[in-house]
C-alpha cells in the first residue's frame, strides 16, 4: 500500500511541477528520474514521432549516451507499428515469444518490458517504455499507474512542442525576419558570459537607418517596410554564421559579433554600409543610408549596460556627422 501511494504521489508531483511553471523539458526530466527510482526499472525512455516520420529518444534513464547517439529509429519500424496498433499498452515477459522479446529489446536484456503508446486525440505522438531485469517486474497496479502517467506525459510533450513554436515566433522580428529585440538582449547577456568564461571578446554593432522618417513621409510606410526588409537581408547576407543580427526597434538594427576583432568588424560593417548606399530602394528620395556604431567588450565596456551606453554615444556621433558612416567607440573616446 505504501509503495502504491508513493507512485500515486508521483503523478501529483508531476502536476505540481506543471502548475509551478516548469518547462516541459524540465518536467519530463524530473518524471523520468522519479519513475526510474519508484518502479525499479533498469531503463526507461520516451520516444516521439517527428515530422519526418522518424522517431527519436527525447529523454531516458538507464540507456548509455553511446547507445542514444547511434540509435537508428528505422531499425525499429516494426516495433513502432506494433505499438501504434495498440489502444492501451504492450507487456512483454518471459512467456512472450523470442521474436517479440528481441523486437522490444533496446540496449539491455530484460525479463519484463512495458510499452505504452502516446496518443493525443487521433494523433500518434510516440511511446514510453520501461524494462525490468526481474520476472513479472511490474504489477497490475504498476501498469495502471504508469499508463496514467504516460497519458500525462503525452500532454506535456505536446505542450513542449507548442512552447518551442511560441519561442520560435517570439525569437524573430515579424517584418525583417531577423532576430527580435527580446532575443537580442537574451543573447547579449549569454554571449558576454561566454566571453568571460572563454576569456575572449565580442563586438556590438548598431546600424541606424538615416532618413527613414522622411522616406516614409514621401513614399509611404509600405515602401518604408520594404526598404527595412531589404536592409535586413543585406545585413543577414554579409555577417558571419556565428553572428546574431537582430531588429533593434524602430529604424535600428543590431549585430552581436562574438570573437571578432574590431578591424574585422569594421570591414564587415563597411561592406554592409556600401551595399545599403547603393541598394535599389523603390523610393528614390531621400536616399537611405546607415550610420553604424561599434563597441567592443571588454576593451570599451565591462558589462552589458555600459556596452549599450557606449554604443549609443558612438551612434550619436555618427548622426552628428551627417550619417552614412562607420565609427568605433575607440575612435571617438
Domains and CATH numbers, the chain: 2-166 (3.30.450.40), 181-332 (3.30.70.270)
pTM: 0.54
pLDDT at position 209: 95
Higher pLDDT, 215 or 25: 215
Q: Residue 290 and residue 326: Cα distance in Å, rounded?
A: 8
pLDDT at position 195: 87
How many other C-beta atoms are found inside a 10 Å radius of the C-beta of residue 288?
24
What is the rounded average pLDDT of the residues 194-209?
90
CB 185 within 8 A of CB 194: no
Q: Residue 230 and residue 234: Cα distance in Å, rounded?
A: 6
Residues in the chain: 333
CB 107 within 8 A of CB 43: yes
User: In the chain, what percentage of residues exceed pLDDT 70?
Assistant: 92
CB 29 within 8 A of CB 45: no
Cis peptide before 298 (omega within 30 of 0): yes
Q: Residue 286 and residue 184: Cα distance in Å, rounded?
A: 30
Q: Smallest Cα–Cα separation from 252: which of 309, 207, 286?
A: 207
- Residue 218: pLDDT band (50, 70, 90) is very high
CB 86 within 8 A of CB 132: no
Contacts of residue 135, defined as CB under 8 A and 6 or more positions apart, other chains included, come to 93, 94, 111, 112
- For residue 1 the three cell numbers come to 500500500
pLDDT at position 162: 62
- Adjacency order of strands within the sheet including 90-93: 55-61, 43-49, 123-132, 112-120, 90-93
Place of cell 551606453: 309
Q: Which residues pair with 5 in a beta bridge?
A: none
Q: Residue 225 and residue 209: Cα distance in Å, rounded?
A: 12
Residue 65 has pLDDT above 90, yes or no: no
Amino acid at each position: 500500500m505504501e509503495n502504491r501511494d508513493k507512485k500515486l504521489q508521483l503523478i501529483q508531483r508531476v502536476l505540481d511541477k506543471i502548475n509551478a511553471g516548469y518547462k516541459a523539458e524540465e518536467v519530463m526530466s524530473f518524471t523520468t528520474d522519479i519513475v526510474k527510482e519508484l518502479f525499479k526499472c533498469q531503463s526507461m525512455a520516451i520516444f516521439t514521432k517527428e515530422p519526418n516520420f522518424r522517431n527519436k529518444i527525447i529523454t531516458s534513464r538507464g540507456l548509455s549516451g553511446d547507445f542514444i547517439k547511434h540509435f537508428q529509429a528505422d531499425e525499429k519500424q516494426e516495433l513502432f507499428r506494433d505499438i501504434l496498433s495498440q489502444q492501451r499498452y504492450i507487456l512483454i515477459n518471459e512467456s512472450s515469444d523470442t521474436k517479440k522479446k528481441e523486437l522490444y529489446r533496446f540496449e539491455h536484456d530484460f525479463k519484463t518490458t512495458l510499452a505504452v503508446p502516446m496518443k493525443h486525440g487521433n494523433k500518434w505522438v510516440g511511446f514510453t517504455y520501461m524494462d525490468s531485469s526481474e520476472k513479472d517486474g511490474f504489477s497490475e497496479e504498476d501498469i495502471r499507474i504508469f499508463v496514467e502517467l504516460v497519458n500525462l506525459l503525452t500532454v506535456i510533450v505536446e505542450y513542449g512542442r507548442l512552447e518551442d513554436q511560441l519561442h520560435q515566433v517570439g525569437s524573430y522580428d515579424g517584418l525583417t525576419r531577423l532576430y527580435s529585440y527580446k532575443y537580442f538582449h537574451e543573447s547579449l547577456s549569454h554571449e558576454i558570459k561566454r566571453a568571460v568564461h572563454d576569456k575572449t571578446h565580442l563586438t556590438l554593432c548598431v546600424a541606424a537607418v538615416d532618413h527613414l522618417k522622411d522616406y516614409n513621409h514621401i513614399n509611404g510606410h509600405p515602401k518604408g517596410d520594404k526598404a527595412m526588409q531589404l536592409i535586413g537581408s543585406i545585413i543577414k547576407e554579409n555577417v558571419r554564421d556565428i553572428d546574431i543580427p537582430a531588429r533593434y526597434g524602430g529604424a535600428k538594427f543590431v549585430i552581436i559579433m562574438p570573437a571578432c576583432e574590431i578591424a574585422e568588424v569594421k570591414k564587415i560593417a563597411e561592406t554592409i554600409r556600401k551595399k545599403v548606399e547603393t541598394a535599389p530602394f523603390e523610393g528614390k528620395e531621400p536616399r537611405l543610408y546607415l550610420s553604424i556604431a561599434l563597441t567592443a567588450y571588454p576593451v570599451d565596456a565591462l558589462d552589458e549596460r555600459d556596452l549599450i551606453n557606449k554604443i549609443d554615444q558612438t551612434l550619436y556621433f555618427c548622426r552628428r556627422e551627417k550619417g552614412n558612416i562607420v565609427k568605433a567607440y575607440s575612435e571617438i573616446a
